[in-house]
Amino acid sequence: MSSFSHATSLEFEYDSDAIAKIVERSVAQEIGEIAGDRSSTTLSRTGDTVTVEVEAADLVALRAGINTWIRLVEVAEKIHDLGSGY
C-alpha cells in the first residue's frame, strides 16, 4: 500500500502506437530523476496511449507533479512534431 494520500492518472492518446512509443521513451528517462520525497510517478504505454500515474503526499506536491509531467509530455510531442514535419 502506498504512503501517498493523493493520486491522479494522466492519459495521452496518439494517432499511432509508434508516436506513443516515441513519447513514452522520451519521458521515461525522467522517472526517478526528479528529486523529491513527496511524490512518485510511474509511466506505462498500452498501444497508442501513454499513462502517467502521479502519487503525492499532499495536494501541492500532486499539482507540482502533474504540471511537471504534462510539460515533459508536451515537450516530447513538440519535438516529435518538429522532427516529422507537422
- Please report the beta strands in 16-80, taking only residues with DSSP state E, as ranges in sequence order: 39-46, 49-56
pLDDT at 1: 46
Record the cell numbers describing residue 12, joined without a space. Answer: 495521452
- Beta carbons within 10 angstroms of residue 5's beta carbon: 11
Tell me which amino acid residue 47 is. G
Q: Judge contact between 7 and 54, C-beta under 8 A.
A: yes
Cell of 14: 496518439
Which pTM value belongs to this model?
0.88
**Predicted local confidence at residue 35, as pLDDT:** 64
Phi, psi of 55 (to 5 degrees): -120, 145
So what's the pLDDT on residue 83? 80
Q: What is the pLDDT of residues 37-84, one digit of tens each?
A: 889 999 999 999 999 999 999 999 999 999 999 999 999 999 988 887
